[in-house]
Amino acid sequence: MTIKSYYANNRIYDFEANIINITQENEDFLVELDSTYFYPEGGGQPSDKGTIGGVRVLDVIKSDDTVLHKLKTRPSKTTLNCSINKEHRDHYMTQHSGQHLISGVLKHSLNIDTLSVHLGEYETTIEIDKASISESEITKLEDDCNALIRSSKNIIYHETDDDGLKEFNIRRSSKYSGYIRVVEIENYDFVPCGGVHLSNLSEICNSRVKLYSLHQNRWDTSRCK
Ligand SMILES: [Zn+2]
């Protein structure tokens, strides 16, 4: 089992960790650390980039309670310096948090559900459960998003289970059972999610969300300007 330290502190980019297991997969090595700040792919958010012992991390994979770091070469030491690519992590934390915000406002202001999301390198796409949306609705969506950013709402985490989930007014049902993590935009939006996010909406770059493209019911959105 790996301690998932990225949940405890999402702003640690450099740390030291001990290897507890190494397995080989074809030409690559899957390294398990005792604890890690590397976020593995999940919830539409790609895995972190960086280095372990000076070797580039090719991928970070969650496997049950374990986080595996894929490396090209086998580490020669058991205690290693690890470094996460800060720019990459911050970019996706911002995109992901912006997506929560927009999907929340879509639901709470316009009663539109989010069907799927894709966090891309340059833009985030949100697929909505509506064939068309008016200019006035888009304006309201942007205005409400930006008002929430200006109000500096915190992003808060709750750990619960299937029974405990009933206590939350969640926006969409959980894809998992057992241990469930609920992400709250303070007193506004609650959704089950295992990703990493900003700590406060005010951290969204330049404090503004701009929606910039609509294709039928798919929306390329949330590029911060
Ligand atoms: Zn999330």
Weakest mean pLDDT among 111-120, 159-168, 198-207: 198-207
CA of 79 to the centre of ligand 1 (A): 31
Q: Are 102 and 221 in contact (CB under 8 A)?
A: yes
Q: What is the mean pLDDT of the chain?
A: 88
Average pLDDT over residues 113-133: 86
CA of 75 to the centre of ligand 1 (A): 32
Closest CA to 94 of 177, 202, 219, 211: 202
CA of 96 to the centre of ligand 1 (A): 6
Average pLDDT over residues 112-124: 85
Please give the single-letter amino acid code of residue 74.
R
pLDDT value at residue 215? 53
CA of 184 to the centre of ligand 1 (A): 9
pLDDT beyond 70 at 218: no
Give per-residue burial for 157-179: e unless 16+ CB within 10 Å, then b: eeebeeeebeeeebbeebeeeee
- The CATH T-level fold of domain 88-224 is Threonyl-tRNA Synthetase; Chain A, domain 2 (3.30.980)
pLDDT value at residue 223? 47
pLDDT value at residue 213? 54
CA of 100 to the centre of ligand 1 (A): 6
pLDDT value at residue 207? 47
CA of 41 to the centre of ligand 1 (A): 12
pLDDT value at residue 212? 56
CA of 91 to the centre of ligand 1 (A): 14
pLDDT value at residue 217? 47
Structure token digits, residue 112: 């539109």
pLDDT beyond 70 at 113: yes
CA of 133 to the centre of ligand 1 (A): 24
Average pLDDT over residues 46-57: 95
Structure token digits, residue 186: 């303070």
Residue ranges, CATH 3.30.980.10, the chain = 88-224
pLDDT, tens only, 6-42: 999 999 999 999 999 999 999 999 999 999 999 998 8
Average pLDDT over residues 63-87: 93
**Which of the pair, 41 or 105, is modelled with greater confidence?**
105
Structure token digits, residue 22: 């190494």
CA of 73 to the centre of ligand 1 (A): 32
Predicted confidence band of residue 55 (pLDDT cuts 50, 70, 90): very high
pLDDT beyond 70 at 126: yes
pLDDT value at residue 44? 78
CA of 195 to the centre of ligand 1 (A): 5
pLDDT value at residue 27? 94
**Domain 17-84, CATH among 3.40.190.10, 1.10.1520.10, 2.40.30.130, 3.40.50.720:** 2.40.30.130
pLDDT value at residue 119? 86
